[in-house]
Amino acid sequence: MKVIGLTGGTGSGKGIVSQCLRDAGAAVIDADEIAHEIIKKGKPAYEELVDYFGLQILQEDGQIFRRKLGEIVFREKEKLEFLNRCTHKYIAREISRQIQEAKELGKAKLMIIDAPLLVEAGLVEVCDAVWVVYADEEVRARRVIERDGITWETAKARIATQKSWEEYERYAQEVIDNSGTLGQVQVQVKNLMKKYA
Ligand SMILES: CC(C)(COP(=O)(O)OP(=O)(O)OC[C@H]1O[C@@H](n2cnc3c(N)ncnc32)[C@H](O)[C@@H]1O)[C@@H](O)C(=O)NCCC(=O)NCCS
Ligand SMILES: Nc1ncnc2c1ncn2[C@@H]1O[C@H](COP(=O)(O)OP(=O)(O)OP(=O)(O)O)[C@@H](O)[C@H]1O
């Protein structure tokens, strides 16, 4: 089984590329989903985050209100760094566990790790190759505004905390250009599946 790290900035299209890959038979781990799990009440990162950010990040039911936490960390670098330090170790541990489990089961030929912070979470070393999804910043901002119902400023602030295209490209064995249509992405994914699976 080959392990592929799929990364790229917010709104570049990792989600739709992952869907194409799933349709083509690959197994996909979604790092955002794991990040949501490990901050739930009773899970490892929960107490650390509540201790640091205080009750302001909690909903009435005691769970962390992610949208609110996002508003705080995407405005303040130091707070984002704390969030990353706290969560990335648990995310990396859970992903490594899932890779091991998939290897033991031996079903999938290709395991995709869809992770916007693949590099920052120290996951490059568990991957056999890194694929990076490209779309320019204007396009990405427009897409996340529509998907998440956020403002232009919030979208731009989120983008500003992430790597520049040049930095992403440095890690890439393959680049998937998602500036065009879904059909154009499907063709690229099909070619990559032929090459890697
Ligand atoms: C900040 C949080 C609370 C916002 O939650 P919310 O449900 O509103 O957004 P979601 O998790 O779906 O993320 C949306 C997008 O924001 C970007 N993003 C998320 N976390 C970060 C981060 N730490 N730094 C930069 N961009 C980020 C990604 O492109 C992501 O796909 C949440 O993303 C989080 O806990 N992030 C820290 C963990 C992390 O690094 N996750 C990324 C997976 S490695
Ligand atoms: N080629 C495209 N044409 C039109 N819409 C697109 C295209 N690619 C992605 N989108 C839409 O843009 C939005 C962002 O795409 P997606 O969720 O795949 O990005 P992402 O890289 O996973 O972002 P994030 O890191 O924020 O999770 C989604 O609503 C998706 O349906």
Report how far apart, in Å, the C-alpha atoms of 28 and of each of 123, 128, 174 are.
15, 15, 17
Confidence (pLDDT) at 107:
85
Query: Left, alpha or beta for 119 (phi > 0: left; psi -120 to 50: alpha)?
Result: alpha
- Can you give the pLDDT at residue 197? 86
Sequence letter at residue 137: E
How many DSSP H helices and E strands does the chain contain? 9, 5
State both tokens at 184. Answer: 């154009």
Ligand 1 centroid to Cα of residue 32, in Å, is 6
Q: How confident is the model at residue 147 (pLDDT cuts 50, 70, 90)?
A: very high
| 150-186 residue pLDDT tens | 999 999 999 999 999 999 999 999 999 999 999 999 9
Report domain 2-196's class.
alpha beta
Q: Whose CA is nearest to atom 16 of ligand 1?
A: 10
Cβ neighbour number for residue 60 with a 10 Å cutoff: 6
Domain spans of the chain, in order of start: 2-196
Question: Which DSSP string corresponds to 121-181?
Answer: TT-GGG-SEEEEEE--HHHHHHHHHHHH---HHHHHHHHHHSPPHHHHHHH-SEEEE-SS-
Question: Using one digit for the tens of pLDDT, what is the confidence trace for 6-64?
Answer: 999 999 999 999 999 999 999 999 999 999 999 999 998 999 999 999 999 999 999 99
Q: Is the CB of 192 under 6 A from ligand 1?
A: no
Q: Could you give the CA distance from residue 115 to residue 165 in angstroms, rounded to a whole number? A: 15
Q: Please state the atom number of ligand 1 nearest to the C-alpha of residue 91.
A: 44
* Mean local confidence (pLDDT), 119-128: 97
Q: Is residue 132 over pLDDT 90?
A: yes
Q: Is the confidence metric ipTM above 0.95 for this complex?
A: yes
Ligand nearest to the CA of 115: 1
161 Cα–ligand 2 center, Å: 18
Q: What is the pLDDT of residue 63?
A: 98
Residue range 122-150: mean pLDDT, rounded: 97
